Amino acid sequence: MKLVIAEKPSVAMALASVLGARTRKDGYVEGNGYIVSWCVGHLVGLCDASEYDEKYKKWRYDDLPIVPECWKHKVLEGTKKQFGILKKLMRDSKVDEVICATDAGREGELIFRLVYEQAGCKKPMKRLWISSMEEQAIKDGFASLKDGSCYDSLYQSALCRAKADWLVGINASRLFSVLYNQNLKVGRVQTPTLAMIVDRNQKIKEFTKEKYYMAHIKFDDMDAVTENFQKKEDADKVAAECQERMCEVEKDDVKEKTVRPPKLYDLTTLQREANRMFGYTAQQTLDAVQEMYEQKLVTYPRTDSQYLTDEMGESTETLIQMLFGKMPYAEGLEYQPDVSKVLNSKKVSDHHAIIPTMEVAKADIGELKERSRKILYLISARVLTATADPYIYESHKCQITCNYHKIGGRAKAMVVTPSRLHAVRYVQEFKRQIKEKGLNDLEVLVAFSGEVKDNDDVYLVMIM
């Protein structure tokens, strides 16, 4: 039999369902030649400093730095029962192969490997590596299992990260606690991040606002602005002298500019966008996407890629057509997606960009948690915008003279392109839906509008 070890019970059940394992036992599911079990997060971790030497129970400056010559691991207190189940299964004579089915990433690899080594297992190991929990993706993954040794480097990098956390946390926390005579926690990631936040907050506090005044001359899309004046009277004087006077454009510097569609989401850009639009923390966004991944609604979240693999072109086109019929903000809209913009296998490492799955077609989106629903809309809209045409416009930088006053002016003129016409129709359609269908509970998030600034990201209007 083959022993499959997932990272969480919910994932294990999804795998067992596809594999045909139906018999529930204590801590695992069995059937059809498979035993499917699970970890509950980390079951094994690094030992504390005091477990290397009793003297480290007391925090003293003279004992620093603490650097183990031989690293030790232990089974964590709250997970001993599940570790015992896995250890027994790994040593069961009827099990001839172990399949690592934890999350396909560095941390998932570490969770499994520590259990595998702590249990003293020597049986052949295979690796399931999938980016989606859809049934077909699971079947394809089990049909193309790789030898576990192919991921040895990934395991070593995860182990290195864990040891680095330990060394910094143990030594720096003890050092600063002893020096300042209070319990201070220092972390490899949290402390530099906190320092950046504190530094930024201090700059905001120290920022001094300076009041100034400007005179504007506006006509059509042109906005001509004077230099800054310290006194309101000076700006009022210029405005009064230019009132109802003729203006002469002495210089008009015209440049054609292109704003390209945004890339698909990796985890970091999705977290940043969810924070900007909804105020969600990075952890809240990750938790929501992870939950939807386990519900088979989106692909694997912990990715650093913003592209899809070259062979995903046809499936992506099918996905886009489904989104048009499923997403409330895309109903009735039509455009020809250019999926080649998001395909690049060379820029995909372990996992491709985060996109919805075809399971969304069967899901009742209204039943999702509000946070999950909004983030799903965000991910779906990004697929549509990333495959749209670029927005092209003319930028005008003018020098205007009005009653002997020289004033600088800027304007933008749209270059009518198919992509822009689509964008206009999107905006009009969304407004119509709100007005005619009474979607008052939906929040309109403006993205792809007429006021596109240089280097700004370009989005469709989203309704959530």
Q: How far apart are CA 33 and CA 18, in angstroms?
A: 13
Q: How far apart are CA 428 and CA 452, in angstroms?
A: 17
CB proximity list for 207: less than 8 A, separation 6 or greater: none
> Is-catalytic flag, 300?
yes
Q: How far apart are CA 442 and CA 370, in angstroms?
A: 11
* Tokens at 70, concatenated: 């031989």
Is residue 452 classed as helix, strand or coil in its secondary structure? Answer: coil
Count of all residues that appear for the chain in the document: 464
Q: Which residue has the tokens 């480097």?
A: 153
Q: Among 353, 359, 358, which Cα is nearest to 295's?
A: 359
Q: How far apart are CA 452 and CA 460, in angstroms?
A: 12
- Residue 112 dihedral angles phi and psi, to the nearest 5°: -70, -45
The catalytic residue among 151, 300, 329, 393 is 300
Q: Which residue has the tokens 């039999």?
A: 1
CB proximity list for 56: less than 8 A, separation 6 or greater: 49, 50, 63, 66
Q: How far apart are CA 131 and CA 351, in angstroms?
A: 6
- Residue 201 dihedral angles phi and psi, to the nearest 5°: -65, -40
Distance of CA 430 to the CA centre of its chain: 26
Looking at the annotation, which residues are catalytic? 300
